[in-house]
Amino acid sequence: MTRGKLVTVALPGDYSSKVRCPGTCLRRIAALALAALTLGTCGGGKDDVPTAPVVPTTPPVAGPTPEPPLSASCERLPLGSATAACRSEGASFLGEVKDAIDVLKSERPEYFRGDTVVNLGGYYAGLIRILDRGGLCAAYDGEELAVKSSNAFSDQYKVLTSWNEIRRAYMVTCTPAVFPLARANPGPSSAGCALPPSSEVACGRPDPQFLGDVETALDQVMKQKPELFDFGQTASGTDWPVVKDMGAYHLALVDALTTKGYCGKFDGEEIQLKRSNELSEHYDVNYADRYVRRGPGSFRSTCYPAAF
């Protein structure tokens, strides 16, 4: 039988072997190749170990940081009872309420003209904050200021007359405490707003702070988007043009104010604006659902804290 001569065969993985060909040459080369491949994938060098692909991850987008509540004292106490019984029993917190009014007059004199309150929203929100400093929970129910230190009872106080003058009067005591019946649960922040959502306590009509920027934004929208208006038709006695598309008009105005650093939204009736959650201002910028409305009459109210 012819044994053939020895030949050197190079194999993958820097392996080699001498085999005798012909005869069983092909079978031996195949067996050696299989052994070499096995060594290359099982127990070979560290460079031969396959690595899992790295999948990039997108870090979660953090929402606005929640702000401290208007009254931390209220947050620490349970909800009130809707079945509380209220009657005149004697004031427990009248001294603290009177002191809070005096402190607010000292800290925020712009809220007052003598004993007349010119900023109703700021007045009630300010009293709640000052009473909270002393560990008392307070809330405004639209008529009276309610105050409690526990849920055993709460007092009701009139702190404003119908002529918007300061009043310091105890009304009734409710047992158990009658407020709050629910926690504020504001909706999500408007698109593009970095501030957390907020809920108002009270609204009034002091002098507006944002009116100048609203007027500038109106000029900008009418110049940059003339297709939204019919300048040939105006409201009687004014130069306020017809609005062809009210929805697009309100959105364009909100966008223009956003570029000026405001958080803004259109609530279906008014445009709401804020720069912080201390307050929001509200503007009705359409007249008779047909025309642009501008000037001081477009300003409707200021809410404390911000209403959105």
Q: Which of 175, 210, 244 is the last residue of a domain?
A: 175
Are 224 and 278 found together in one domain? Answer: yes
Is it the case that residue 26 has pLDDT exceeding 50?
no
Q: What is the mean pLDDT of residues 17-45?
A: 44
Q: What pLDDT shows up at residue 35?
A: 43
Could you give the number of structural domains in the chain?
Answer: 3
Are 299 and 246 found together in one domain? Answer: yes
Q: What pLDDT shows up at residue 185?
A: 85
Are 219 and 144 found together in one domain? Answer: no
Tell me which residue range forms the domain holding 5: 1-33
- 64 within domain boundaries: no
Are 101 and 147 found together in one domain? Answer: yes
Q: What pLDDT shows up at residue 45?
A: 45
- 277 within domain boundaries: yes
Query: Tens digit of pLDDT for each residue in 107-164?
Result: 999 999 999 999 999 999 999 999 999 999 999 999 999 999 999 999 999 999 999 9
- 58 within domain boundaries: no
Burial, 260: exposed, middle or buried (Cβ in 10 Å; 0-12, 13-18, 19+)?
middle
Are 157 and 207 found together in one domain? Answer: no
pTM, 2 dp:
0.76
Query: Tens digit of pLDDT for each residue in 246-284?
Result: 999 999 999 999 999 999 999 999 999 999 999 999 999
- 6 within domain boundaries: yes
Query: Tens digit of pLDDT for each residue in 56-78?
Result: 554 444 556 667 899 999 999 99
Q: What pLDDT shows up at residue 276?
A: 97
Are 208 and 298 found together in one domain? Answer: yes
Burial, 215: exposed, middle or buried (Cβ in 10 Å; 0-12, 13-18, 19+)?
middle
Q: What is the mean pLDDT of residues 28-47?
A: 43
Residue 30 tokens read as: 């195949």
- 112 within domain boundaries: yes
**Contact in structure between 193 and 263 (CB atoms under 8 Å):** yes
- 183 within domain boundaries: no
- 27 within domain boundaries: yes
Is it the case that residue 33 has pLDDT exceeding 50?
no
Q: What pLDDT shows up at residue 187?
A: 85
Q: What pLDDT shows up at residue 258?
A: 96
Burial, 175: exposed, middle or buried (Cβ in 10 Å; 0-12, 13-18, 19+)?
middle
Q: What pLDDT shows up at residue 129?
A: 98
